[in-house]
Each structure stands twice: as structure tokens, then as C-alpha cells.
Structure 1
Amino acid sequence: MESLKHFMWGYQPHFQTMAEARAKDFLAHFEFESNLHVQVCLVGVLEDERDDRLPICVEPQDSKYQDRLGDIPAIARRLRRCDEDRLRHSHPSAAERYERRKHLEYLQQAIREAVATLSGDDCSVFSSLPTKVGGYLVSCVLRLDRSAYEKFPRLEKHVVARTPVAASFLDAVIDEYLRDCSAELSKPDPGMNFGGFRDIEELYRGGGARICDTAAVAVGHIQGVCFRAFDRISSLKHERGSASGRIILSERGHPNVDPIVVLRDPIPVGNTRQARKLLETSGGGRSLLCDGVRIYGVGKTTGSYDPSREDLFEVEFLDHHAWELRHGGATLMRSIDGIPCQPKPPYRERKFRSDARRIFPEIEDESLDRLCRLVGAAARQRHGALLVVAPEAEREAERLAGQATRVEPFQVEEDVIDALTAIDGAVLISTSGVCHAIGVVLDGLASQLGDPARGSRYNSAIRYTGSVDGPRMAVVTSEDGTVDVVPDLKPQIPRAALDEALVELRAVADEPQPDIRRFNNVVSWLHRHRFYINADHCDEIKLLRSIVESRLTDVRCRIVYGEIAPDPGMDDSYLT
């Protein structure tokens, strides 16, 4: 039977596993550029005096923070001494509640500081408000890769008018997740029953409301109804037309806002039908003006806004039930069909460069730079576009002459991409950016990689690149703003990393009593990288897993993994 040296309550390993799995689930939607390397641990500070308990406990038991967080109480006392904004309450019960809340907040910050110090500068740390479990004040601590975390658009201020605010949509969602952790820890025997956390969409809605509250606080209102109001406005139609226009969020009299029309009777932003009707007056540089609570006029921005002020926001209505919250030209959040999200960059240049070099090994740097500019221009098109890159573009144009409009070869520039993609069909260019045909109807055999939920451009690109001889790339811009590069190559990984994982699994299988956490770590890694595993290694992994799992008879809680099967698209080019 597994024993816990750092014991707080019986189900602490189960809760830690559940909390980390939930964090990885909701943060997976933010990992379109870089891996956040999500890790979750529990830190408990003993509150009840007991001789049979350690003063500080950490879960998981093999955490690098074990026995290294003893200075948390001292940090909390220092934070209390340095707090100059403490309030005094005359009523005893109010004073007691306030002091208890402040004590928990000091402890929360102390845990975050202590873990961050041990984690180093490459890690961002977040902690939940401690909750009492088994005599310990327990905080759920989330750690993320700092470089990946800081890539998301964010504000600089975390406190406005003495009110804590979320600096980004990611921060807002993390806050909601940590609140869920505190709520789950407050239940009897946390971790005994799986579930309880809100589903991911509800978590995102909470984050969306929180980042909109940040904007409301920044323009002078403690709490607003902005998210619900803007989402409702975007869902309404006016004379059968979808929502389109802009609302400026700022305090009245802002130096960078010039009112054109001022309403004598401002409209509450919650009066969504009237607000939707007035939205029709925006456009042509004009916007509705809102102070966070009421719409008070129509106007425009003027002068050069200083983004460091962080007190002027824009809400852009994109289409039916689609809108964005922006600041200083950066999109903080997008909401589609009532579900907030972090907007993905329409075109990932770094990945395109990597894929292009693997597909066209002979391409020169100058040609690749030109291709990147052309693809970027195609990705910005409002209408759909299909750009095909082929080394032998002239010969391909001849082959497809019966279903294309051939042109005299010319060097394509960014400013003509819009015209070339305005007609149906693909634009065929060489790897050096020379165009040989437009309006090309692509051929190809039906493919299992097709997607019936996607349009004809995407599926024709899948068929074409999968059927023709020789290397090809296709860039598909859909009218909904989605940009796909076909083929979408998996990233390369070091062969040594795969070998090391297999060596680790063999070592675990050799143990008479396997370490469950060590086993979970290596099998989880193999599952995340299952695309790269060949048939022989799949068979070996299956055998080693069966050996380990047969010896885990005393483990009360286990993660169940599916079988790993070889992927037909895998070859040695994916291993470095």
C-alpha cells in the first residue's frame, strides 16, 4: 500500500491528479504557439497544532519542493507588516471576517512567492486562496512556462482603483480555474469523487466576463454587465442584418474620444435591443460611446492614444454572434457563439517556414522570405483564397491547362494577391514566388484526411497535395478567417527523446514494485508523442505496460490509457 510522508488528507493524490488533468484540458486551447508545460501541485500549511503532522506538506510526494518551503509563514508575516492598505472595521464580526480573509490572502501570496523562487525565472506561478482541509490550509499551485505564457496579449496593470483585475484572458481563465480549485477543496473529502469542476466552456465564459470587468473597472466602474450585454448585442439582428460596428469603452471626457452625437438620455448597456439598433449608426470611423454602464453617444477616437493609460477599449462586432475586446490594437479576447476564446494568429509564420524547408529542402532563404510575405498577404484576405506552391509550377500549369487560366510568368507582389484570389480556383506559384496560373481547378483522389465540415477549398487542397507526385504546399484562407497550410506537418522531435522514454519505461517495468507516478509520467509522454512511435515500439510499449499494470494491485487510483498504434503518416523525417 502506498504511504504518504507528506500527509494532509487521504485523497490528496487523487485531487492533485484531477486538478492537473483539468488544468491541462482547459489550457490546451492556449497552446497553439508554444507548450505551456502545465504542472499543478498542492501546498499545505499546518494551521492546527499537531505533533504528528509536518508544518508544510506538498503533493505530489516526489515534488522538488518537498522540505524546501519552510519559509512560507515568515513570508506571510512580512507581507502583513508591509501592507499599508489594511482597513479597520468597528463591528467585531466584520473585523474577524476581514482579518481571516487577509490572513488567507497573505498566505496565498507567500506560497506563490516561495514556489516561484524555487522554480526560477523561466516559470510563472499562480496559487489559489488556501482552503482548510485536514488541519492544513491548502493551496492549489499552477506553474506554466514563462516564455509561452508571456506571448499572449496582456495589460500591464493588475490592480486598478484598489481592485484586482485580470491582465489578460488567459489570466482571467486561470483565476476562474483557481476559484474552482478552492471550491472543490472546501467540499468533504476532496478528491474522493472525480468531477465537480465546471466544464471548459463555462470556465471560458467566466474568464470572458472577468476580462470585460477589467475594462469596466479601468473606465471607472467597479462591476459591469459588459460581457453578457455585448454577447447579447452580437446575437441580435437588425432588419435581418448581422451585427457589425464598434463600441468604444472609456470614461466620459477621455482626451482621445471625440463625441459627435451625445444622447440626452443615455441608454443602459443592458438594454441590448436598443443598443443593437444604435449600433447601426457606427461605421465609417464612427463608434458608439460607452462608459461601461451606459451608451451615451456616437463619436470617434482622436489623437494618439497612449496604451500605458489602459483606459480606452474597443469592442468590435465581427458578424452574427461574434465580437472582440481590443486594447491598443491587440485583441484581448474573441467571443464566438457565446464562448470566449483566445484568438489564434491567422498565420503562423514560424511553422510555415519550418514546414516549407522540410517539403522544399532546396529552397533559398530569399525565396522563402518572399513566400512568407505572399502567404501572409493571402491569410489577410477577407474573401476565401487558395494559394498553391509547386517547384515545377510552369510544368504543372501546362498539365492543368484545361482547368486553369495560364498567365505569362510574373513575380507576385503582396499588393496583387487580393486581385489574383478574387476569382474561384487556386493561384499557382513557384517556390520563388513566380505565378504561372490563376483560377486553377485542382485535381486529386478522394482522401481519408478530408473533412466534410470544411469547405471545398480545404478539401480540394487535401486531395491535390495527397495525390500529385512531387512536393506541394497549399495555403487555404476560408471566409470565416480560418487559415490552413496543407500538408500540416507534425513538428520534428529528437530521436534521443523517444529512446530515453523507452529506456525509462523499461526501467519501471524492471522494478518489483513500480513507482506509479514515474510510470504515469513516461506513459503520458508516450501518449502525447504517439504519432512518432513505430510498430515495433508500439508492441514493446504494450508488453511493458501490461507488466507494470499487473504489479499495481495496491494502487487505489490509476489513470487508464488507451493503446498506442502506429500512425501510417509517420516516417523517419519526423525524427532529428
Structure 2
Amino acid sequence: MWDYQSLFRVSAQLLAEGVFNLLDRNLRPEVFLLGLAAAREGDEPGAVRLEPTTHRYAPENFSQVKARAAALEPDTTREVVYHLHTDDQDRFEKMRWYGLVRRATEHELQTLSLAEGRVSFCSQPVLMNGSLVLVVLQLAAGTFHSYYALNEDATSESRPPSLLMAVVREVLQECSKALRGTDAEEGRPLLDRDYNELLRSSGRRFMHGPAGGNHGLYDACNGVAALRHEGIEGHGTMLLARRNHPAVVPVLTLETPVPLRDHRSVRKLLEMSEGRTALISDATHVFGLGHLVEPTDAAYEPLFTVHFTHHHNWELSHAGHVMMRVVSATPRLPQGRIDELYFTETIRRMWPAMSDATVQLHWELALKATTQPSGTILIISEGAGYEAQRLSRQCFRVAPRFMTPSVLRLVTNIDGAVFIDPYGTCFAIGAILDGLASERGDASRGSRYNSALRYIETSRFPSLAVVVSEDGWIDLLPSVKK
């Protein structure tokens, strides 16, 4: 299709991995390119191209995409728009056709990827050297659907039903922008956007839904969460609802609503929220205090709720489901228990000879670690005994003993990491980890995550860290074989 298509596909794959791995490594993103001849009439067999050419799908799988797109036209509501300039009318018709091609491609992909346990999405086509190039993104279906999402019938392209869907659209849009800017970069499309910045943009996009299409809610919540009132961190709740919503019982109404952009005033008012009683906002102003009626009430309707949990931290919920957590202005998915399959695959990859009983023990220990509300670190290391001796001045060494979930619950009540070996023997508790700075460090994450990452990347021994952050994030950090 063009000279640097392989380079672009690899760049898009790295972008997808970098972004989605920050959300959930079990999503396992895969990117490939699909090229269709630009002419609208029927294509000869060689008019469909894939990158990589060795992809498991064949060009024949997409030979009917444009015929299907043409068949969609009568079913599409035509918007009566007349453009005075001929070029504007042509552009309008072209973009409409591109939208039909994208829909038809996603329909074909849905059939192909269903049996593979994948979900597929594709970008808007971009014309490249006579081919309509679409970027296809696939994710693990089980993991994707495990996260709560709104009813897609009630959403639009500008209002994604979940944070995950907002990130998907942001990644694909970034790829399309890079393809359209190819000429300016001497034929080499660039994908160098910062992962966390892309996630922040996705968070803003997602918040358009709870905000009823208004802009600025995401940044307003960040601004409020960043403030302290008389030296105290912000804790409180804000209900998002239109004024006089029947599902909201008013408790106190402000005579003059406070603009949500007035972060300091909103932060002060937040002190009044307690229990069920919350600030009421229409995403532009705060106009009082109130609470949601009981679910048994005929007027009940699930509403969006913003919970300010810690300094710089807040989360968005709908109908009791946490949809997005924001840590230091960067959104993350609500993390629950770690996935057993992913944990087993990781530990088997590191220690292939480990018995099933020992793998099960480590899984039970990892689960127990995730219940620690103040966070903790569990280090599984072949050199646990040596490391306990090396770090003797910054840990509590213990007489080697077989670790059980009940004992782990006790020893994780103090700060620091717990060292056990692959056989389940504990050698140290309360360890302060060391290590060199890592390029994979994440300033939006806490010191617990970054210290575990530094230790794992510089450890002399094969090691696996289960990191439970105080804000609820759970990470598995396997060491890289040297």
C-alpha cells in the first residue's frame, strides 16, 4: 500500500500495548492494517491487502466489504444537506461513504473474531496511494466485556459507553490522524503520543456522557480533587443530574448556583456532603444538596456519581458500578481481583517446573494480598533468602516458615514487602525495596508501585511482584530474563 506500512503497523501495535497495558494487561491488544481499493465498484481478487501479509486472516475474508457497505446505504437515514461549494458536497459524500465502509468492515470482523474470543474495532478509512486503509484493533472479549458499560443504544460517537470504549476510539483516531499526516512526514506517519496524555484525553471524551455533552467536567473534578480545605483532603460525593430531577430529593438549594469551574468554592461545599447526602450538579453548576431516592421508588433512575476519595483521586460511578478511577488526573479502570488465568500463565512462564499445588498456593496468597486495604507488596523470588540477608537493615528477617494466607494477612498489616521463595517459604517482612530508576516508571502511580518496579527490573533473581496500591490498583510485575 505504501513504503512504510510495516513500520506504521508496528508503531500502532506498540501504542496500543502501551496504552491498554496501563489499563489491564489481560486485554492483549492486536493491531493490523486492512487496505481496500478506493474505487466504489466491485474489486478484483488482488484489491484487498493486509499488513502483515502473513496475518491469519486472508484477503478473501474482506472481499465483500464494499458490497456490504453499498447495501447499507438504503438503510441509512440520509441527512438533507446542501453545500454551496462543490468541494464541500464531495467531501460530505466521501466521508459518508467512508463511514459505511467502516461499519461494513466491523460487521465482517465481528464474524471472524467471535470464535477467537476477540472484539474488533476499526478506524475511519484514510486514502493512501489508491487504497482505503483501515486500522483494525482487537482486544480479548472476556476482559473487555467484564467492565461495566452503559447501554450503547443511548450513546453516540461523541459519548462512548465506557472508558475502555473511549480509549479504543482515541487510539484509532490517533492512528487515522497519523496516516492523514503522512505526506508532511516524508511518508512516515508518526505515533509518538504520550500514553498517559492519551488516557487523559479519553477520560475527557468519556465524561461527555455524564455531563450531558458539556465540556469541562473531567478537568473540573481534577481541579476540585487537587485542593485541600483547611489542610484536609477532599472527601465527598457529587450527584450529576439536571435541575429538579424527580429522582433527587433536595435537602438544601443555593439561591445562586456555584459554577463548577470555581474549584475552591466547590471544594468548600463538598465538606457538607455526608452519607447519602451529596452535592447536586448539572455538570456546569452546583445548585445544592440532596440525595437519591430509594431504588424501590417509582421515580428512581440510576444517576452518575462522582466520589472524591483522596487528594488528587476521584472516581465515577453509575448505578453502583465504578466506571472510572482517576489518580493524579489520569484515568484508570476499576481494578478488582487479579485474573487467575493471567496470574497462572505468568508464574508458569517464570517457573515452568512448579507443581500445580504450589501454583495454587501462590494464587491464594496473591488473593489474600489484594484484600489488604492499605496496600502491600508480595515478592516471589528465587533469591528470597539471599535478599532478606542483603536487605537486613531495611526489613524484618524471620525464621524461614511456610507462608499461609492467614499469616500473610497478619504480616501485611505493616508497611513494606513480604519476601517468599517459589516454594512458599517466607524469609522477610516489612522490607523496604531498593533499585535503580526505571524508564517504565509512572509518575501518576504511587511510591509502592514504582519502588516494586525498580526492584524487579534490577533484581539478580527471577522475581514476581504482586503490588496492591492503597487506591485499589493491582499489578503483576514479572522480572525480565537477563
Deviations 1:440-471 (A, max 9, x none): 6669xx976998x9569977xx79xx999xx9
Partner of 2:33: 41
Superposition pairs of residues 228-267 of structure 1, within 5 angstroms: 228-254=219-245, 256-267=247-258
Partner of 1:275: 266
Distance in 1 (CA, whole Å) between partners of 2:130 and 2:423 is 68
Structure 1 residues 345 and 39: CA distance shift in structure 2, 3 A: same
Secondary structure at the residue paired with 1:78?
Answer: helix
Contact 2:135 2:175 (8 Å CA) reproduced: no
Match of 1:296 among 287, 296, 301: 287
Partner of 1:24: 14
Distance in 1 (CA, whole Å) between partners of 2:303 and 2:134 is 34
Distance in 1 (CA, whole Å) between partners of 2:423 and 2:41 is 74
Secondary structure at the residue paired with 2:208?
Answer: helix
Confirm or deny that 1:182 pairs with 2:176: yes
Contact 2:315 2:324 (8 Å CA) reproduced: yes
Contact 2:304 2:316 (8 Å CA) reproduced: yes
What amino acid is aligned across from residue 288 of structure 1 in structure 2? Answer: L
Partner of 1:105: 99
Structure 1 residues 320 and 69: CA distance shift in structure 2, 3 A: same
Match of 2:315 among 314, 324, 333: 324
Distance in 2 (CA, whole Å) between partners of 1:68 and 1:359 is 38
Structure 1 residues 187 and 28: CA distance shift in structure 2, 3 A: closer
Confirm or deny that 1:73 pairs with 2:66: yes
Distance in 2 (CA, whole Å) between partners of 1:251 and 1:263 is 15
Structure 1 residues 277 and 73: CA distance shift in structure 2, 3 A: same
Partner of 1:381: 372
The Cα of 1:17 is off from its aligned counterpart by 2.9
Number of aligned positions between the proteins: 451
What amino acid is aligned across from residue 333 of structure 1 in structure 2? Answer: M
Q: CA RMSD in A?
A: 5.1
What amino acid is aligned across from residue 212 of structure 1 in structure 2? Answer: M
What amino acid is aligned across from residue 38 of structure 1 in structure 2? Answer: E
Distance in 2 (CA, whole Å) between partners of 1:432 and 1:337 is 38
Partner of 2:163: 169
Superposition pairs of residues 324-363 of structure 1, within 5 angstroms: 324-345=315-336, 347-350=338-341
Structure 1 residues 24 and 311: CA distance shift in structure 2, 3 A: farther
Partner of 1:130: 125
Partner of 2:444: none
Structure 1 residues 264 and 118: CA distance shift in structure 2, 3 A: same
Secondary structure at the residue paired with 2:100?
Answer: helix
Contact 2:163 2:323 (8 Å CA) reproduced: yes
Contact 1:152 1:168 (8 Å CA) reproduced: no
Partner of 1:89: 81
What amino acid is aligned across from residue 171 of structure 1 in structure 2? Answer: M
What amino acid is aligned across from residue 178 of structure 1 in structure 2? Answer: L
The Cα of 1:207 is off from its aligned counterpart by 0.9
Match of 1:142 among 136, 142, 152: 136
Secondary structure at the residue paired with 1:208?
Answer: helix
Partner of 2:147: 153
Contact 1:43 1:57 (8 Å CA) reproduced: yes
What amino acid is aligned across from residue 11 of structure 2 in structure 1? Answer: A
Secondary structure at the residue paired with 2:237?
Answer: strand
Confirm or deny that 1:226 pairs with 2:220: no
Contact 1:24 1:38 (8 Å CA) reproduced: no
The Cα of 1:363 is off from its aligned counterpart by 7.9
Contact 1:56 1:67 (8 Å CA) reproduced: no
Secondary structure at the residue paired with 1:179?
Answer: helix
The Cα of 1:303 is off from its aligned counterpart by 2.2
Distance in 2 (CA, whole Å) between partners of 1:342 and 1:104 is 32
Distance in 1 (CA, whole Å) between partners of 2:108 and 2:332 is 31
Distance in 2 (CA, whole Å) between partners of 1:426 and 1:117 is 47
Structure with the greater relative contact order (CA < 8 A, sep ≥ 6): 1 or 2?
2
Question: Gaps (5+ residues) in structure 1?
Answer: 1-6, 391-399, 491-530, 532-566, 568-576
Secondary structure at the residue paired with 2:323?
Answer: strand
Contact 2:368 2:405 (8 Å CA) reproduced: no
Contact 2:280 2:288 (8 Å CA) reproduced: yes
The Cα of 1:212 is off from its aligned counterpart by 0.8
Partner of 1:213: 208
Distance in 2 (CA, whole Å) between partners of 1:117 and 1:476 is 38
Secondary structure at the residue paired with 1:213?
Answer: coil
Distance in 2 (CA, whole Å) between partners of 1:144 and 1:46 is 24
Question: Gaps (5+ residues) in structure 2?
Answer: 382-391, 442-446
TM-score by length of 1: 0.62
Distance in 2 (CA, whole Å) between partners of 1:147 and 1:81 is 31
- Stretch deviating more after TM superposition (123-132 or 149-158): 149-158
The Cα of 1:211 is off from its aligned counterpart by 0.9
Contact 1:212 1:227 (8 Å CA) reproduced: yes
Distance in 2 (CA, whole Å) between partners of 1:473 and 1:96 is 57
Deviations 1:182-205 (A, max 9, x none): 323333637745454351333222
What amino acid is aligned across from residue 166 of structure 1 in structure 2? Answer: P
Secondary structure at the residue paired with 2:309?
Answer: strand
Partner of 1:203: 198
Distance in 1 (CA, whole Å) between partners of 2:192 and 2:360 is 45
- Stretch deviating more after TM superposition (203-212 or 342-351): 342-351
Could you tell me the percent identity over the aligned residues? Answer: 24
Distance in 1 (CA, whole Å) between partners of 2:143 and 2:128 is 30
Contact 2:12 2:31 (8 Å CA) reproduced: no
Contact 1:140 1:178 (8 Å CA) reproduced: no
Deviations 1:330-373 (A, max 9, x none): 333333223333344464555556778969967859x957x866
The Cα of 1:313 is off from its aligned counterpart by 1.8
The Cα of 1:172 is off from its aligned counterpart by 1.1
Secondary structure at the residue paired with 1:298?
Answer: strand
Distance in 1 (CA, whole Å) between partners of 2:159 and 2:90 is 25
Distance in 1 (CA, whole Å) between partners of 2:174 and 2:11 is 13
What amino acid is aligned across from residue 371 of structure 2 in structure 1? Answer: R
Distance in 2 (CA, whole Å) between partners of 1:65 and 1:133 is 21
Structure 1 residues 387 and 186: CA distance shift in structure 2, 3 A: closer
Contact 1:282 1:288 (8 Å CA) reproduced: yes
Superposition pairs of residues 441-452 of structure 1, within 5 angstroms: none
